[in-house]
Amino acid sequence: MAARLIRGSLRLWGSLYPRCPLQSARCSHSGGEERIESPFAKKLTDIGIRRIFSSEHDIFRESVRKFFQEEVVPYHTEWEKAGEVSRELWEKAGKQGLLGINIEEHHGGVGGDLYSAAIVWEEQAYSNCTGPGFSLHSNIVMPYISNYGSEEQIKHFIPQMTAGKCIGALAITEPGAGSDMQGIRTNAKKDGSDWILNGSKVFISNGWLSDVVIVMTITNPEASSPAHGTSLFLVENGMKGFIKGRKLHKMGLKAQDTAELFFEDVRLPASALLGEENKGFYYILKQLSQERLIIAEFAISASEFMFEETRNYVKQRKAFGKPLAHMQAVQHKLAELKTHICVTRAFVDSCLQLHKEKRLDAATAAMAKYWASEVQNRVAYDCVQLHGGWGYMWEYPIAKAYVDARLQPIYGGTNEIMKELIAKEIISDK
């Protein structure tokens, strides 16, 4: 795994690094390699910090950071205007080994560990470029196929998705059903061995560029509850009756393509069913912890970016004859922000460790998503305030980070729903 990721790093850098032995990665988690935590680092975004990572991860992080700085940052403004990133970027990411990192190699993925996948999430946040939907594609859509798909489905989709030649999306939300997944109306009815799919979905990330969409549908309307009669289908671009509506114009995440999808008598073969019939709701529930952990990771990483951006600004910006950073009110606000960020980072890193060990439960994932996204929005608000009027200007990175933060408490299940999940665990007698 590590060797394959490092080879990708070497291809991007075009120079030779000394190969780090696998033992180095193991030692770092047992005290053999000393690493400082975020509070002690010169910058919260420094490479070589946090004990969950190893020196091999550092090499990979350097290459990922370079990828985002060279292949994403220079073009992101153009993609914001277009409402989508280029397909060429996806193939570049595939060649660099940035897609399907945590998918088993024998399935056609990279075969990397969770921490390597997390590095891609973090570095995207540090670049302040929210356009590429890599995490949704690699860490939400692909695991459904890898975990529940047939051998034929895995062979057909996973290698192409790892290469960036097939872009994936997940279609759950409908105009009348958001956090309440049991309120969906999209349905599929049997017609011989085929299925006929009808309905619509909205707010679908990667929807416009998607080549394959996992669609949550009702397949047994007579079930005791929608949860017992829901299935997942793999719907491919170009199928008759599958229509992509307009790209939605959003407050933030402007370069991330988000679309409406319509299904009008789409005929699906039996092989399009993902997993077992009427088990879709349970598959979704099993995958939600990872989805919410990803949101938490993006949230705290974006907070770290905003803090460093603001620290630099207040040290340079002068008012009343001295840098803003020399004013006590500004210093105290920076102290508050760093404390909130570092405490949240420690919790999210703990959740990453739990998830790597397959011990992250739904309630803890909900806590991470709720808390980190709330912190992100508080940090965004305060950092814009510290920038003054310039923080309201779109050309300043903090303005983009501010509007992009607002969706985090909404998608992946609203934070109000997260509190419900946490509370149920608290009062449960089980």
The set of catalytic residues is 291
Cα gap 340→374, rounded to integer Å:
11
C-alpha dihedral (288, 290, 292, 293), degrees to nearest 10: 160
Cα gap 5→7, rounded to integer Å:
5
Cα 130 from chain centre: 10
Per residue, the 3-state secondary structure of the chain, as one string, reads CHHHHHHHHHHHHCCCCCCCCHHHHHHHCCCCCCCCCHHHCCCCCCCCCCCCCCHHHHHHHHHHHHHHHHHHHHHHHHHHHHCCCCHHHHHHHHHCCCCCCCCCHHHCCCCCCHHHHHHHHHHHHHHCCCCCCHHHHHHHHHHHHHHHCCHHHHHHHHHHHHCCCCCEEEECCECCECCCHHHCCCEEEEECCEEEEEEEEEEEECCCCCCEEEEEEECCCCCCCHHHCEEEEEEECCCCCEEEEEECCCCCCCCCCEEEEEEEEEEECHHHEECCCCCHHHHHHHHHHHHHHHHHHHHHHHHHHHHHHHHHHHHHCEECCEEHHHCHHHHHHHHHHHHHHHHHHHHHHHHHHHHHCCCCCHHHHHHHHHHHHHHHHHHHHHHHHHHHHHHHCCCCHHHHHHHHHCCCCCCCCCHHHHHHHHHHHHHCCC
Cα gap 263→252, rounded to integer Å:
27
C-alpha pair distances (Å), 159 with each of 110, 205, 268: 9, 21, 22
